[in-house]
Amino acid sequence: MLLPLALQNRGLMHSLLCLSGSHLSNTDPTYSMAQHHHFGMAMEFLLKDPVLTGQIAIAGDPTIATTLILCLNSICKGETEGEYRPHLDAARHMLSSASSAEGRSNTFSNFLYEFFMYHDVINSVTTLDRRPILLMENYTLPAFIIQPEAGALLGVLDGLFGYLSKITLLRDQIRTRKANGEHPSVDYEVLSQAVAIDSEIREWVPAQIPESHRYIAAQLYRQSTWVYLYRTIMPSTANPKIQLAVEEGLQYLRRLPENSGTQSILLMPLFILGCAAFEPSQRPEISRRFQGLHEYSRLGNIVTAHEVVKKIWELMDQGDEEKSWDWENIIKEMGYDFLVT
């Protein structure tokens, strides 16, 4: 079995113990002490890893897994000062190096890549300076990637995150035009790109089993991606079209049981829907969903994401079109740097 084999790496074992204590440490201080112990041990083993000390060239799956779990530890603790960055950057380096494609274990390697890419792409939704590896020039999928009908994580291998990354680029272009005082900020070139992305999103079909919870969650991701596009190219003002789009997203949410495993992947789409909730009547349900996600997982980043969304609502209600459009800058001004994964 691939996972048990990977767990023979002592750094990974300590990282898993560190992560598993994150939820319990919120209610029992003895678990917090154990968590700190295992976090320290994980870092010790990671720093001694031959891959990172230059003794060998190939980054093994256990080392990459350890690094990603340390990134998850930051999410669980609700850290807001970019503590996840060195771990995500290390994983990026190891996964993007040419040698990391040699001797990989296929299924587990595939999962690690998806896991990294999921966080890497979503990272760009809340930051001004973090852009996905998908956007790198001449980027190609690693040689070890298996192309299943549906990957382990929504959006990564089925193409949807490619559209999400393209929208992030559009936001960068528009933000630059705004900063340079260029009018209109959404010019013909940007609009043409947006039309092409809109067509791709509409044609995208989930690879999951129809009407399953994952299929409904995939539809929610698709709807949120379209909302992300709309919020990027349209004025940051109330509009019947965006109100309907948010409502359709909420309808998908209502079809997902609040005690099911899909709750663990709903923060990103919920955050985007929240950033588009100009209609005050939609906000209580969105707030309740944030609270429900936190009650389900106790992940600290959920509380921070909700705080940001509430700040955006304040700016919307004040009629501040410029500031309410640019939630990445709002997050920066609030002094936050976190993941909505």
Question: pLDDT at residue 83 above 50?
Answer: yes
Q: Are 79 and 100 in contact (CB under 8 A)?
A: no
284 burial via Cβ count (<10 Å: 0-12, 13-18, 19+): exposed
Cα gap 296→305, rounded to integer Å: 15
Q: Convert the pLDDT of each residue in 212-271 to its tens digit.
A: 998 999 999 999 999 999 999 999 999 999 999 999 999 999 999 988 888 989 999 999
Task: Report which of residues 19 and 182 the model is more confident about.
Answer: 182
Q: Convert the pLDDT of each residue in 176-218 to its tens digit.
A: 999 999 999 999 999 999 999 999 999 998 888 898 998 999 9
Q: Which of 300, 311, 310 shows the shortest CA–CA distance to 341?
A: 300
The confidence band for 20, taking pLDDT boundaries of 50, 70 and 90, is very low
Which residue shows structure tokens 């992300």?
A: 228
The confidence band for 141, taking pLDDT boundaries of 50, 70 and 90, is low
Cα gap 173→136, rounded to integer Å: 16
Question: pLDDT at residue 2 above 80?
Answer: no
SS3 of 95-123: the string is: HHCHHHHCCCCCHHHHHHHHHHHHHHHHH
pLDDT at 100: 46
Task: Report which of residues 146 and 309 the model is more confident about.
Answer: 309
Q: Are 314 and 275 in contact (CB under 8 A)?
A: no
pTM here? 0.82
The confidence band for 12, taking pLDDT boundaries of 50, 70 and 90, is very low
Question: pLDDT at residue 292 above 80?
Answer: yes
Instruction: Please give the DSSP secondary-structure letter assigned to residue 185.
Output: S
Q: Convert the pLDDT of each residue in 29-76 to its tens digit.
A: 554 565 556 556 655 655 555 544 444 334 577 888 888 888 988 998
Tokens of 43: 């870092």
Cα gap 265→340, rounded to integer Å: 9
